[in-house]
Amino acid sequence: MSSERQGGLLFSTERDSHTPEILAVDALGWPGILVKGLTLFGSRVSVLAQLDEAAHALRLRTNTPPVTDRSSVALWEWPELPAPPSAVKLSAVLAAGSRWQQGMKVVSGFAGFSSTVLVLPRDQPTPSPCLVAAERYGVWVVRADSAETVVEHRGRVGPVVTARPTTVTRWTEELVYARLIEDDLIEASPAR
């Protein structure tokens, strides 16, 4: 896999820039690193993550890799066991597909974590029940293909206002952080 270094971060240069998820993120203009094909809570999604460069650098210096064991992350709530700084923040969870019902079911479940985006094919009109559900759950609806991307519905930016960080939130951030490193989207060891 070829990659390039930008500001101390290692980014893949072999990404397919025409996948629906990448086109949707580009159309929305949201910054971050896209992790595609991640399974969270039994659903296949893509996640747009913001990297905290200072926290990532600290974790590299202190040799603190991502912790993906949920029980270990749960112990971080105890004051006796300090947690490492969170290196990522979830900006958006995206689900792409041709059936809006399945995609809506998947992304609406992530409303407490971040913004949610349903990516549909551009060549099919968006049914009105889909737009009603998007309004209800605060989901962005984007229709995308390689020729054009259309933002069909503007949803909520960020998680629902009543959402509070929990152990599950932090565990999810650690899972995304691990995938960023595994996929060589960020550097895994200190630059020499």
Tell me: pLDDT of 26 over 90. yes
Helix (H, G, I), strand (E, B) or coil at 100: helix
Residue type at 99? R
Task: Write the pLDDT tens digit of every residue in 116-163.
Answer: 999 999 888 899 999 999 999 999 999 998 778 999 999 999 998 898
Q: Is the pLDDT of residue 15 over 70?
A: no
Q: How far apart are CA 130 and CA 109, in angstroms?
A: 15
Report helix, strand or coil for 37: strand
Confidence band of 190 (pLDDT split at 50, 70, 90): low
Task: Please report which residue ranges of 78-148 form alpha helices under DSSP H.
Answer: 100-108, 128-137
pLDDT single digits (tens) 101-120: 999 999 999 999 999 999 99
pLDDT of residue 57 exceeding 80, the answer is yes
Mean pLDDT, to the nearest integer, of 184-191? Answer: 77
62-74 as b/e: b if 16+ CB within 10 A: eeeebbeeeeebe
Phi, psi of 10 (to 5 degrees): -105, 120
pLDDT given at position 91: 96
Instruction: Give the distance from CA 115 to its chain's centroid.
Output: 9
Residue 72 DSSP label:
H
Task: Indicate the helix (H) or strand (E) that contains 56.
Answer: helix 53-61
* Residue among 22, 2, 19, 18 nearest 10 (CA): 2
In the chain, at which residue ranges do the beta strands (DSSP E only) sit? Answer: 3-6, 9-12, 33-40, 43-51, 88-96, 115-121, 140-144, 149-153
pLDDT reading at 11 higher than 80: no
Enter the pTM of the model.
Answer: 0.86
- What pLDDT, on a 0 to 100 scale, did the predictor assign at position 188? 82
